[in-house]
Structure formats: C-alpha cells, structure tokens
Amino acid sequence: MVYTDFQRLELEKEFRTTQFINSERKSQLSSELQLTERQIKIWFQNRFVFFFFFHLNHSKRDLK
C-alpha cells in the first residue's frame, strides 16, 4: 500500500498523540483519509514495531 504524503502526515500526527488507536478514532480516520480501517490498523501496528525497536536499539546503545 502506498500512502499519500497527506495520509502519512495525518497518521504520524495521530501516532504522536496515541500509539494505540481505538475503533472510534480508526473509523473517523478512515473517513477522513479515505483508507480502510484495516489499512489504518496495519499502519499503526507497523509504526509501533518500528517505534519500539528504534527505542530499544537506542536504549541498548546508551547502556554501553
């Protein structure tokens, strides 16, 4: 799936607000961004994994 710049920006803004999206907000974003709720759910899952491992790697590096 290729997201538009606008969609990515809005999803990133939402992720900064909350890393776990509820179904009501997922439905709203779906309408606003013209994406399916499943696409939004998967984007958040992938983004969280990236976020988690990025911070995990930085934490390990800081411990050395």
Q: Which of 47, 13, 19, 50 is nearest to 39 (CA)?
A: 47
Helix (H, G, I), strand (E, B) or coil at 15: helix
Structural domain tally of the chain? Answer: 1
Domain that holds residue 38: 5-63
- Note whether 14 and 25 are within 8 A (CB): yes
Whether pLDDT at 55 is above 80: no
Distance CA 54, CA 59 (A): 9
Q: CATH number, domain at 11?
A: 1.10.10.60
Identity of the amino acid at 58: H
* pLDDT tens, residue by residue, 7-50: 999 999 999 999 899 999 999 999 999 999 999 999 999 999 98
**DSSP 8-state code for residue 2:** -
What is the chain's alpha carbon radius of gyration, rounded to the nearest angstrom? Answer: 14
pLDDT at 54: 72
